[in-house]
Amino acid sequence: MPLTCADILTQTPQGLYCPPGGFHIDPLRPVARALITHGHADHARAGHGAVMATAETLGIMGVRYGAEFAGATQTAPLREPMRVGDVTVRFVPAGHVLGSAQIVIESGGCRVVISGDYKRAADPTCEPFEPVPCDVFITEATFGLPVFRHPDVRAEVRKLLDSVALFPERAHVVGVYALGKAQRLMALIREAGYAAPIYIHGALERLTDFYQANGVTLGDVRRVAPSERGALAGAVVLCPPSAIQEVWSRRFPDPVTCFASGWMRVRARARQKGVELPLVISDHADWDALCATIRETGASEVWVTHGQEDALVHWCGTQGIQAQPLHLLGYGDEEVEPGPDDPSSPTREEA
């Protein structure tokens, strides 16, 4: 009997599971065989028996967890169909961070696409999202409310650089997530014509080195030495979000506290974190992009996970698309900070 879409993918306590393929996708706990969409800590965990992912995602996992992060690894070249168990899988760019991919599973004439996290806005540090026509589309919904409409990132970067020009005696200390946001912001700053060195906290160094080693051009990036902080008037300094509230950032000359995140759209969040200059820069699709993407896939069925599921499920209903929330626990978004056992964790850095 041919498999139906319901046979291809099910939910288990470990996360999404493909029984005919014998693998989990982005499992939350160690499993025998995992396919991983991208390197953020809530999707890519250490300790699986075997991991299949793009070369960049495997590299990022190696940077974060050490070379022994899985029993065995297999590189998934982008767009190339591969047989896994009784299904065919394919990794297709998701436009979220370097190496991020949607996972396409096909069997018996049914095609399921697991988006992982994705965005449609331009990002010079990774390949753009490619829509894949499918029967079932599993979408994230981090910003799945109509109030979330991300502004043009170039205007946000302009705000930062205008402030740098206006206050040459102050340092601009920008909180950014270590994987993706840090490197994208640096690339956008370069695109805007800023050529001076960009300074980074030590916790951002290894992933930034990894991006540069993988051909992402970021210009002159320097790790801040503790002794030079007082001398960095006029500089742009990137650090993990937690560091903007720590003593570490107060040693810079009259620091302007900035934070680059989609959540900066919510004023209360910026105020709560003591952010003077919020920059609305997100690596997730906003409401319009979520809706447009669902339409583009032509999916007749949508599963919504990872955030604000209900509004998007309702919207699908108005479009005649069958939809259900997945309520998978354990996923955050790029805003998840590495745990204390993560070698790139800011808590291991000097104050």
**List of residues contacting Zn ion (CB under 5 A):** 40, 117, 333-334
CA–centroid distance for 194 within its chain: 25
Shorter beta-carbon distance to Zn ion: residue 205 or 333: 333
Nearest approach, Cβ of residue 254 and Zn ion (Å): 34
SS3 212: helix
What length does the chain have?
A: 351
Q: Report phi then psi at 157, rounded to 5.
A: -65, -35
DSSP letters spanning 274-316: T-SEEE---SS--HHHHHHHHHHHT-SEEEEEEE-HHHHHHHH
For residue 259, which of 247, 242, 284 has the smallest C-alpha distance? 242
Residues 6+ apart with CB under 8 A from 151: 280
Nearest approach, Cβ of residue 199 and Zn ion (Å): 25
Q: What is the dihedral of CA 205, 206, 210, 212, to 10 degrees?
A: 20
Shorter beta-carbon distance to Zn ion: residue 106 or 333: 333
Q: How many CB atoms lie within 10 A of CB 15?
A: 22
283 touches 262 (CB < 8 A): yes
Shorter beta-carbon distance to Zn ion: residue 37 or 249: 37
Shorter beta-carbon distance to Zn ion: residue 236 or 312: 312
Nearest approach, Cβ of residue 221 and Zn ion (Å): 22
Shorter beta-carbon distance to Zn ion: residue 117 or 135: 117
Nearest approach, Cβ of residue 140 and Zn ion (Å): 6
Nearest approach, Cβ of residue 290 and Zn ion (Å): 14
Q: In the beta sheet, which residues pair with residue 263?
A: none
Shorter beta-carbon distance to Zn ion: residue 56 or 117: 117
Dist CA 44 CA 120 (whole Å): 22
